[in-house]
Amino acid sequence: MTKKRKCNVCGQKRPDWMYKHSKKKTCQQCEFKWYQRLLRLLVQNRKLTRWERFGMRIGYMGVGFLIAGQWTVNPLLFIAGFICVLIQVSIRRQWNLVILQLNGLIAWTIHFLESLK
């Protein structure tokens, strides 16, 4: 015979084995919900402002361009990549990286202009 207990969270009557021990008032199903953790993670991500999220996406795009550029040595890919990452690091206010991206941008623009001659 299984005794049923009422869970204090979901209010449903559940058998004993669904509780961790005899003094628990919350059933195990209510104690651990994987999607609650997922939601919590999403909420933490939502703390970024809209601009920061935009910058993050464009930053990943820029990194893609830079990776492609390093394999093809195409100045246009480098220029596009540096501009995208420049937007991200300026939103994040990481000025040392802004300097680095600006330097790369200027250098590759010069390479590109020289290759046109």
Applying CB under 5 A, which residues contact Zn ion? 7, 9-10, 27, 30
Phi, psi of 5 (to 5 degrees): -120, 150
- Contact (CB, 8 A) for 79 and 105: yes
- Contact (CB, 8 A) for 13 and 6: yes
Minimal distance in Å, beta carbon 42 to Zn ion?
23
Minimal distance in Å, beta carbon 37 to Zn ion?
17
Nearer to Zn ion, 28 or 45 (CB): 28
Nearer to Zn ion, 10 or 106 (CB): 10
Nearer to Zn ion, 27 or 89 (CB): 27
Minimal distance in Å, beta carbon 7 to Zn ion?
3
Task: List the structure tokens of 33.
Answer: 């919900």
Torsion region of 98: left, alpha or beta (phi above 0 gives left; psi -120 to 50 gives alpha): alpha
